[in-house]
C-alpha cells in the first residue's frame, strides 16, 4: 500500500495541478467572446447600465452592462463571506467590504467609463493573456498574478450582489484559484514553462538579471 501511494500520489497531484491550471485558463477563454473588440458588446452609444428612481437596473449590453452593474452596486450594502446560521433573517456572519466597493465604484466612474472605448481593449487583453499563459503553461506565474488582480476586482465589484444575482463563492473561488496558481506556478508541470525554465536557469546562472526575473514568472 505504501509503495502504491508513493507511486500514485505524485501523479494525482500533477494531474490535479494541470487540470486546475487549464480550467482556470479556459474559464477566462469563455469570457472573451461576449465582450469582443472593438465594441466589447456595448450598444452603439456605449451606454452603461444604470439604476432608475426605484433602484431597478436599466440594463444595456456587453462590457458596458457589467461595468454599470458594478458601479450601481458600489453604493449598496456589500457583505461577503455570508453565513446565515439559522437560515432566517439577516446574515449572522459576514464581512462588510463597502469601503472597497466604493473605491472600486469611484475608479469605474472616474476612469473606466470615460475611457471605455480604449480601456475595453485593456480588459479584453488581460483576460486573453490569462487564458494563453495558464492554458498553455507559459509564464504561468505571471498569468496567475494578472488573474489574481482581475479576479479581485470582479470579486469586489460583483460577488454576492442581488440583482442580477451573482453567487458570491463563484468569485471567491476565482481569487483562491488564482492565488494557488501564483504560489505553485503550475506551468512547470506539463506546460511550456517546463521547456523554458532550463534555458532561463542557464542564463540566470551567468548573471543575466532579465532571465532571473523571467525565471520567477514561469
Mean pLDDT, residues 127-153? 97
Q: Dihedral through CA 32, CA 38, CA 43, CA 45, nearest 10? A: 150
Q: What pLDDT does 102 receive?
A: 95
What are the pLDDT digits (tens) for 127-137? 999 999 999 99
Alpha-carbon separation of residue 196 from 129, 162, 176, 192 (angstroms): 18, 45, 26, 6
pLDDT digit string (tens) for 82-101? 888 877 777 778 888 989 99
214 within domain boundaries = no
* Distance from C-alpha of 5 to C-alpha of 18, rounded to nearest angstrom: 20
| Cell 543575466 found at | 208
For residue range 35-84, list pLDDT tens digits in order.
999 999 999 999 999 999 888 999 999 999 999 999 999 999 888 888 88
| 209 belongs to a structural domain | no
Confidence class for position 122, pLDDT limits 50, 70, 90: very high
Alpha helices (runs of H) in the chain, residue ranges in sequence order? 2-30, 62-73, 98-107, 116-135, 140-158, 168-184, 192-205, 209-216
- Is residue 205 assigned to a domain? no
pLDDT at residue 121 greater than cutoff 90: yes
85 within some domain = yes
What is the rounded CA–CA span in Å between residue 44 and residue 37?
A: 13
Assigned domain for 200 exists? no
End-to-end CA distance of the chain: 35
Rounded mean pLDDT of the chain? 92
What number is the average pLDDT over the span 162-185? 93
Average pLDDT over residues 20-30: 97
State the pLDDT at residue 2: 67
Which CB contacts under 8 angstroms, 24+ apart, belong to 207-216?
214/139, 216/141
Range of the domain at 55: 11-186
Residue showing cell 456572519: 93
Residue 202 and residue 152: Cα distance in Å, rounded? 35
pLDDT at 92: 76
Residue 213 lies in a domain: no
Q: Are 20 and 181 in contact (CB under 8 A)?
A: yes
* Region 99-113 average pLDDT: 96
pLDDT at 170 over 80: yes
The pLDDT of residue 126 is 97
Within a domain: residue 112?
A: yes
Give yes or no for residue 4 having a pLDDT over 80: no
- Counting the structural domains of the chain, the total is 1
Residue 203, domain member (yes or no): no
**How far does Cα 161 stand from its chain's mean position?**
17
Burial of 33 (0-12, 13-18, 19+ CB in 10 A): exposed
What is the grid cell recorded at 124?
479584453
Amino acid at each position: 500500500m505504501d509503495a502504491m501511494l508513493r507511486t500514485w500520489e505524485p501523479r494525482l497531484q500533477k494531474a490535479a495541478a494541470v487540470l486546475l491550471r487549464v480550467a482556470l485558463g479556459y474559464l477566462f477563454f469563455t469570457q472573451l467572446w461576449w465582450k469582443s473588440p472593438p465594441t466589447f458588446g456595448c450598444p452603439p452609444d456605449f451606454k452603461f447600465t444604470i439604476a432608475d428612481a426605484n433602484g431597478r437596473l436599466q440594463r444595456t449590453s456587453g462590457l458596458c452592462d457589467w461595468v454599470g452593474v458594478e458601479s450601481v452596486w458600489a453604493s449598496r450594502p456589500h457583505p461577503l463571506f455570508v453565513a446565515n446560521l439559522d437560515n432566517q433573517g439577516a446574515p449572522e456572519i459576514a464581512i462588510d467590504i463597502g469601503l472597497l466597493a466604493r473605491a472600486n465604484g469611484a475608479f469605474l466612474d472616474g476612469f473606466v467609463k470615460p475611457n471605455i472605448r480604449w480601456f475595453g481593449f485593456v480588459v479584453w487583453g488581460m483576460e486573453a493573456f490569462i487564458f494563453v499563459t495558464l492554458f498553455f503553461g507559459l509564464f504561468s506565474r505571471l498569468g496567475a498574478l494578472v488573474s489574481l488582480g482581475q479576479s479581485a476586482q470582479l470579486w469586489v465589484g460583483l460577488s454576492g450582489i442581488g440583482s442580477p444575482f451573482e453567487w458570491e463563492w463563484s468569485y471567491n473561488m476565482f481569487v483562491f484559484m488564482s492565488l494557488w496558481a501564483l504560489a505553485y506556478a503550475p506551468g512547470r508541470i506539463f506546460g511550456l514553462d517546463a521547456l523554458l525554465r532550463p534555458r532561463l536557469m542557464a542564463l540566470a546562472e551567468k548573471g543575466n538579471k532579465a532571465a532571473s526575473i523571467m525565471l520567477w514568472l514561469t
